[in-house]
């Protein structure tokens, strides 16, 4: 069965739509921090896209407006900046800034799954220290251990990464669990194991902002190509 890659980037940018600029007045530092977006994730996703000839489906609105990696109804779908909007305004934010990315990703996944099977790689980055807790590794691969194809892919990818760059520390289901609410979790409910694998690729932001970025990107490109072979 042919495997087709779908690349997405949910926290690609920190844009605020003009109609909601007032909500974020004085918040430029928060917007620019890891709370507002995933620094470095889109650049990496595009490098992977160029290497595999796949378009990156990216959401460039700040996650503080509405969180594209949470399901509708999740308590953290809206942030402290947007939670105070009334029900009608929230619905409008969902329609304009949440639903289009979700719909685009689902169309791409359905097209890939119809002709074979879809390997969905959602590219993210994580802050090296969260709430005083260091995260001493470069790469996390998040997946659902109950899904056989995903489990195999995550382990295989880790092995290929170790081949490409033995010093890289790759962790499975760290710094988050692949089964927590998110885009891949939602897609697993729509698409069966044999047609869909959703892996969140999590990169340490210290690596993406530092001198090892090119080397890590090369290792990811080589290993992703190997995974698709």
Closer Cβ to Zn ion, 137 or 193, answer by number: 137
Q: How far is the CB of 9 from Zn ion (least distance, A)?
A: 8
Q: Give Cα separations from 134 to 40, 62, 163 (angstroms).
A: 19, 25, 26
Residue 43 CB neighbours (<10 A): 15
Closer Cβ to Zn ion, 38 or 138, answer by number: 38
Q: How far is the CB of 182 from Zn ion (least distance, A)?
A: 9
Give the residue nearest to Zn ion (CB).
124
Q: How far is the CB of 188 from Zn ion (least distance, A)?
A: 18
Closer Cβ to Zn ion, 159 or 172, answer by number: 172
Q: Does 11 bind Zn ion (CB under 5 A)?
A: yes
Stated as kind and residue range, the H or E segment containing 143 is none
For the chain, how are helix, strand and coil distributed in percent, rounded to 5? 45, 20, 40
Selected range binding Zn ion among 6-14, 16-24, 166-174, 220-228, rule: CB under 5 A: 6-14
Closer Cβ to Zn ion, 11 or 14, answer by number: 11
Q: The tokens 């999590």 sit on which residue? A: 202
User: How many Å from the N-terminal Cα to the C-terminal Cα in the chain?
Assistant: 12
Site string for Zn ion, 20-49 (x = CB under 5 A): ------------------x-----------
Closest CA to 170 of 130, 143, 210, 132: 143
Q: Does 124 bind Zn ion (CB under 5 A)?
A: yes
Q: How far is the CB of 139 from Zn ion (least distance, A)?
A: 14
Q: How far is the CB of 202 from Zn ion (least distance, A)?
A: 8
Q: In this structure, are residues 227 and 159 in contact, taking their beta carbons and an 8 Å threshold? A: no
Q: Does 135 bind Zn ion (CB under 5 A)?
A: no
At a CB cut-off of 8 Å and minimum separation 6, what does 118 contact?
3, 4, 6, 108, 109, 112, 191, 195, 196, 197
Q: Does 4 bind Zn ion (CB under 5 A)?
A: no
Q: Does 101 bind Zn ion (CB under 5 A)?
A: no
Site of interaction with Zn ion (CB under 5 A)? 11, 38, 124
């Amino acid at each position: 069965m042919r495997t087709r890659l779908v690349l997405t980037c949910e926290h690609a940018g920190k844009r605020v739509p003009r109609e909601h600029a007032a909500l974020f007045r004085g918040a430029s530092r928060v917007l620019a921090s890891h709370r507002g977006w995933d620094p470095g994730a889109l650049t990496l996703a595009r490098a992977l896209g160029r290497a595999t000839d796949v378009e990156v489906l990216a959401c460039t609105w700040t996650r503080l407006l509405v969180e594209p990696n949470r399901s509708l109804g999740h308590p953290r779908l809206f942030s402290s900046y947007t939670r105070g909007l009334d029900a009608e305004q929230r619905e409008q934010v969902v329609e304009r800034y949440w639903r289009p990315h979700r719909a685009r990703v689902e169309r791409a996944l359905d097209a890939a799954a119809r002709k074979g099977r879809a390997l969905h790689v959602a590219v993210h980055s994580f802050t090296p220290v969260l709430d005083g807790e260091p995260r001493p590794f470069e790469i996390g691969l998040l997946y659902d251990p109950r899904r056989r194809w995903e489990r195999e892919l995550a382990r295989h990818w880790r092995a290929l990464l170790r081949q490409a760059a033995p010093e890289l520390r790759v962790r499975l289901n760290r710094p988050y669990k692949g089964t927590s609410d998110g885009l891949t979790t939602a897609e697993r409910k729509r698409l069966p194991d044999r047609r869909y694998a959703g892996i969140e690729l999590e990169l340490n932001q210290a690596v993406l902002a530092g001198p090892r970025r090119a080397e890590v990107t090369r290792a990811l490109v080589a290993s992703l190509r190997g995974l698709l072979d």
